[in-house]
């Protein structure tokens, strides 16, 4: 059975994995008949955001793996133990967790670094040209994984696109209901909530991303 790794970064758009994007990803994978396993790093979140007010919840701390388990209904494993050889493809939903917990792109922009376990894991797919899908802000990490010249989208935000190009990525503007494909690397990206104004709008690009990965898997 085709097995897909889904890497989460917490649970909540402002400090973790975007919940709608994550659930839509799991739903699309199942509807293709794919099996999946969720992973997340066993690290503290950069911070906790009160999602009602948008403020930092001072004095609160949460663990990325433990919070990701909310989306995964308990079935999530430590990213440090993930092996690319066990999977046919990998997908990263977005949310600020991708830019705060899996990397520090939200703070450092083009000077960011990326979680080494994530880099190692995704490089395991990249070297064999296995399909990989990144959505929302998560593609900002891709130049640090695939290297210069990697083609991707985060939608249309010019500042973010400039930062990605400063890291060696090739940014291509893309509407919410479409994908950008780097065919040489079997890499698919979609803007999702970088542009979406609703869950059904996000679903259009995410479904297309998963469809494309299914195509690549034959």
> Rule CB under 8 A: which residues touch a copy of itself?
11-14, 16, 19-20, 23-24, 26-27, 30-31, 50-52, 54, 65-67, 69-74, 76, 193, 198-200, 203
Residue number with CB closer to a copy of itself (96 or 125): 96
Distance CA 151, CA 217 (A): 20
Residue number with CB closer to a copy of itself (33 or 127): 33
Instruction: Write the DSSP string, 57-95.
Output: -TT---BHHHHHHHHTTT-EEEGGG--GGG-SEEEE--S
Residue number with CB closer to a copy of itself (54 or 218): 54
Q: What is the largest CA-CA distance in the chain?
A: 49
Residue number with CB closer to a copy of itself (67 or 182): 67
Nearest distance from C-beta of residue 73 to a copy of itself, angstroms: 5
Nearest distance from C-beta of residue 215 to a copy of itself, angstroms: 20
Nearest distance from C-beta of residue 124 to a copy of itself, angstroms: 24
Instruction: Write the DSSP string, 40-54.
Output: E-SSB-S--B-TTT-
Give the three-class secondary structure for 1.
coil
Distance CA 59, CA 127 (A): 41
Nearest distance from C-beta of residue 175 to a copy of itself, angstroms: 18
Let me know if 174 is a catalytic residue. Answer: no
Distance CA 163, CA 166 (A): 5
Residue 178 Ramachandran class (φ > 0 left, ψ -120 to 50 alpha, else beta): beta
Buried b (16+ CB within 10 A) or exposed e, 133-164: bbbbbbbbbbbbbbeeebbbbbbebeebbebb
Of 38, 112, 136, 174, catalytic? 136
Residue number with CB closer to a copy of itself (14 or 134): 14
Nearest distance from C-beta of residue 72 to a copy of itself, angstroms: 8
Indicate which residues carry an active-site annotation: 136
């Amino acid at each position: 059975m085709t097995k897909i790794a889904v890497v989460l970064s917490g649970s909540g758009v402002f400090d973790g994995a975007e919940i709608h994007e994550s659930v839509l990803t799991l739903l699309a994978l199942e509807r293709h008949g794919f099996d999946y396993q969720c992973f997340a790093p066993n690290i503290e979140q950069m911070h906790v955001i009160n999602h009602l007010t948008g403020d930092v919840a001072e004095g609160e701390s949460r663990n990325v793996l433990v919070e990701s388990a909310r989306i995964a209904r308990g079935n999530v494993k430590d990213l440090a133990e993930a092996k690319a050889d066990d999977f046919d493809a990998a997908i990263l939903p977005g949310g600020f967790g991708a830019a705060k917990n899996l990397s520090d792109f939200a703070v450092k922009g083009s000077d960011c670094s990326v979680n080494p376990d994530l880099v190692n894991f995704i490089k395991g797919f990249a070297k064999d040209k296995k399909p990989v899908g990144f959505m929302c802000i998560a593609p900002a990490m891709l130049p640090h994984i695939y290297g210069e010249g990697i083609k991707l989208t985060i939608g249309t935000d010019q500042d973010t696109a400039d930062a990605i190009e400063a890291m060696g990525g090739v940014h291509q503007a893309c509407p919410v209901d479409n994908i950008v494909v780097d065919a040489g690397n079997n890499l698919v990206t979609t803007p999702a909530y970088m542009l979406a104004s609703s869950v059904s709008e996000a679903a259009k690009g995410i479904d297309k991303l998963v469809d494309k990965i299914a195509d690549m898997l034959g």
